[in-house]
């Protein structure tokens, strides 16, 4: 099922296993840097959930967390250099599309199998989450020009991937299906998760993945000057991304109304927007407008895009959205306003039709062609060898993930600093036994001890709890 990477890296060196001894890197990826030591590579679909695949999934998650921490501290250059020099971006893109194909072809078969009733759906969830981890990592690093350039030919596959995700967003908004999170009832929490519940989780995850793909696409459009000609043709003519982005401006799938209140999706959650903030632009709104700005105003794109009657009529719809409030928040859109005013009274010349050989994306088609007619067999193989673990195997893997998502790591990623459990001020001290409660002073900890003692004893006795007894 695998999509083999090319035998020569983007630097002209043979691909191979590369160790990394930096202490900082080792803290995230283990001895010798597990990601580079194990040679992060595309895995065969039938080998998913194997020990090697799980190690690789953990490495991707650690890379993802490391990228977020580094970017928030403004120290991501080391990670960027590693990803570029070891040519891992094409590998990540290939793995991303492999999981996408699995979701379209194999996951529905698993949901239809009448004799498949797993005691735990968590292994399947891990595969679904693998796509979210990769796209989140790409969103963090694609801000940098060298990452975009290091994608090489696979940038075409990534553009197609983003197009598919944005098309799903438009279809969702057109059918009025916002990606709001549904509440789980107590009886659902008490019972083992079913495949139907997993499908609901997959739908909610798909919505967030599509929003990440929007950000990745916007970062790609930032580099139109250095993209290959085939990439511009793919975005402007094959997929007509400007018109697709206009659909997003019109329907705004990250905004909805419930019970008369406006809700917007921001930073991974839906929030009720107070009346005074309803005209504020969200980050997602900004990504759409900046992508349009790049695709419509850059000289390279204007030479390639066909401003025919239909495209012109669609583009002119944007004038209704370019209000003074919007221009105040994103002044760069003044240039687009001028461009649209000029477009309304002129007919730009059609682009020249040059006879050139263009590259095309191959990963998606390669996977479909190689596995045509085998999807049910792959699903049954994975049911037997990957998605029916024993209780001991589940416990072992749970311990592995507990180490990956350590409390210290997750707290470092939290946007807000911890608060004292007693008085609510910013706290720097934590209970050394359970490591679950925070306090600003010893006095607050002593004051809270009688209430905290029972829970502290239970947490301190739990297997794998990190803390001093």
User: Span 163-171, mean pLDDT?
Assistant: 95
Q: What is the pLDDT of residue 408?
A: 61
Place of tokens 């004038």: 319
Q: What is the pLDDT of residue 255?
A: 92
Asked if 211 contacts 284 with a C-beta cutoff of 8 angstroms, the reply is yes
User: Span 8-26, mean pLDDT?
Assistant: 34
pLDDT per residue over 275-315, tens digit each?
999 999 999 999 999 999 999 999 989 988 999 999 999 99
Comparison of pLDDT for 34 and 333, the residue scoring more: 333
Helix axes 309-316, 333-344, angle to 10 degrees: 130
Q: What is the pLDDT of residue 314?
A: 96
Interstrand relation of 269-272 and 429-430 (parallel, antiparallel or unpaired): unpaired
Q: What is the pLDDT of residue 22?
A: 38
At 193, is the pLDDT very low, low, confident or very high (cuts 50, 70, 90)? low
Q: What is the pLDDT of residue 409?
A: 57
Comparison of pLDDT for 388 and 358, the residue scoring more: 388
- The tokens describing 274, both together, are 């107070």
What is the pTM assigned to this prediction? 0.79
Q: What is the pLDDT of residue 43?
A: 57
Look at residues 117, 102, 248, 247 and name the one whose alpha carbon lies nearest to residue 191.
Answer: 117
Count CB neighbours of 152 within 10 A.
Answer: 16
At 215, is the pLDDT very low, low, confident or very high (cuts 50, 70, 90)? very high
User: Span 14-33, mean pLDDT?
Assistant: 34
Q: What angle do CA 217, 87, 406 make, to 5 degrees?
A: 80
Q: What is the pLDDT of residue 228?
A: 85
Residue 219 C-beta-side C-alpha neighbours within 13 Å: 23
Q: What is the pLDDT of residue 123?
A: 87
Q: What is the pLDDT of residue 36?
A: 37
Q: What is the pLDDT of residue 399?
A: 76
At 15, is the pLDDT very low, low, confident or very high (cuts 50, 70, 90)? very low
Q: How would DSSP label each residue in 268-285? A: TEEEEPPGGGTTSPPHHH
User: Span 345-361, mean pLDDT?
Assistant: 77
pLDDT per residue over 49-100, tens digit each?
677 788 888 888 888 888 888 888 788 888 899 999 999 999 999 999 999 9
C-alpha of 322 from chain center: 29
The pLDDT of residue 382 is above 60: yes
Q: What is the pLDDT of residue 8?
A: 33
- The tokens describing 171, both together, are 């279809």
Q: What is the pLDDT of residue 176?
A: 62
The pLDDT of residue 463 is above 90: no
User: Span 353-374, mean pLDDT?
Assistant: 84
Return the HEC string of 118-183: CCCCHHHHHHHHHHHHHHHHHHHHCCCHHHHHHCCCHHHHHHHHHHHHHHHHHHHHHCCCCCCCCC
pLDDT per residue over 317-351, tens digit each?
999 999 999 999 999 999 999 999 999 998 887 87
Q: What is the pLDDT of residue 45?
A: 62
Q: What is the pLDDT of residue 34?
A: 38
The pLDDT of residue 116 is above 60: yes
Q: What is the pLDDT of residue 355?
A: 53
Q: How far is CA 15 from CA 87, 91, 397, 441, in A?
A: 9, 12, 30, 53
Comparison of pLDDT for 1 and 383, the residue scoring more: 383
Q: What is the pLDDT of residue 7?
A: 33
Asked if 161 contacts 100 with a C-beta cutoff of 8 angstroms, the reply is yes
Mean confidence (pLDDT) of the chain: 81
Place of tokens 């000057």: 225
* Three-state SS at 178: coil
Least confident piece of the model among 44-53, 61-70, 213-222: 44-53
């Amino acid at each position: 099922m695998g999509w083999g990477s090319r035998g020569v890296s983007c630097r002209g060196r043979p691909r191979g296993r590369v160790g990394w001894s930096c202490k900082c890197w080792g803290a995230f990826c283990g001895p010798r840097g597990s990601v580079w030591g194990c040679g992060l590579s595309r895995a065969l679909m039938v080998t998913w959930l194997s020990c090697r695949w799980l190690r690789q999934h953990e490495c991707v998650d650690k890379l993802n967390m490391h990228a977020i921490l580094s970017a928030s501290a403004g120290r991501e250059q080391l990670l960027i250099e590693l990803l570029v020099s070891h040519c891992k971006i094409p590998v990540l893109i290939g793995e991303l599309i492999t999981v996408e194909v699995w979701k379209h072809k194999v996951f529905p078969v698993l949901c239809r199998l009448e004799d498949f009733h797993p005691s735990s759906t968590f292994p399947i969830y891990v595969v679904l989450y693998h796509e979210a981890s990769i796209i989140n990592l790409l969103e963090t690093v694609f801000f940098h020009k060298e990452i975009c350039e290091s994608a090489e030919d696979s940038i075409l596959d990534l553009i197609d991937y983003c197009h598919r995700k944005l098309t799903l967003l438009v279809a969702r908004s057109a059918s009025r299906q916002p990606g709001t999170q549904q509440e789980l009832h107590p009886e659902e929490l008490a019972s083992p998760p079913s495949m139907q519940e997993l499908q609901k989780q997959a739908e909610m995850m798909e919505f967030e993945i599509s929003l990440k793909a929007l950000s990745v696409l916007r970062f790609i459009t930032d580099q139109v000057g250095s993209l290959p000609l085939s990439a511009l043709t793919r975005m402007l003519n094959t997929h007509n991304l400007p018109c697709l982005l206009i659909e997003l401006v019109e329907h705004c799938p990250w905004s909805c109304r419930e019970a008369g209140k406006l809700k917007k999706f921001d930073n991974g959650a839906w929030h009720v927007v107070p009346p005074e903030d309803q005209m504020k632009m969200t980050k997602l709104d900004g990504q759409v407008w900046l992508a349009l700005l790049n695709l419509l105003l850059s000289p390279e794109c204007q030479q390639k895009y066909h401003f025919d009657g239909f495209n012109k009529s669609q583009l002119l719809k944007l004038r209704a959205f370019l209000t003074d409030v919007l221009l105040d928040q994103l002044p760069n859109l003044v240039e687009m306003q001028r461009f649209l005013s000029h477009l309304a009274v002129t007919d730009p010349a059609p682009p020249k039709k040059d006879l050139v050989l263009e590259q095309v994306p191959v990963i998606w088609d390669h996977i479909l062609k190689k596995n045509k007619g085998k999807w049910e067999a792959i699903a049954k193989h994975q049911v037997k060898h990957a998605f029916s673990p024993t209780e001991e195997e589940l416990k072992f893997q749970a311990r592995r993930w507990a180490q990956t998502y350590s409390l210290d790591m997750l707290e470092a990623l939290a946007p807000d600093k911890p608060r004292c459990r007693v008085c609510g001020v910013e706290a720097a001290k934590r209970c050394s036994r359970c490591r679950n409660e925070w306090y600003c002073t010893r006095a607050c900890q002593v004051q809270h001890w009688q209430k905290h003692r029972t829970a502290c004893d239970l947490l301190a006795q739990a297997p794998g709890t990190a803390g001093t007894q």
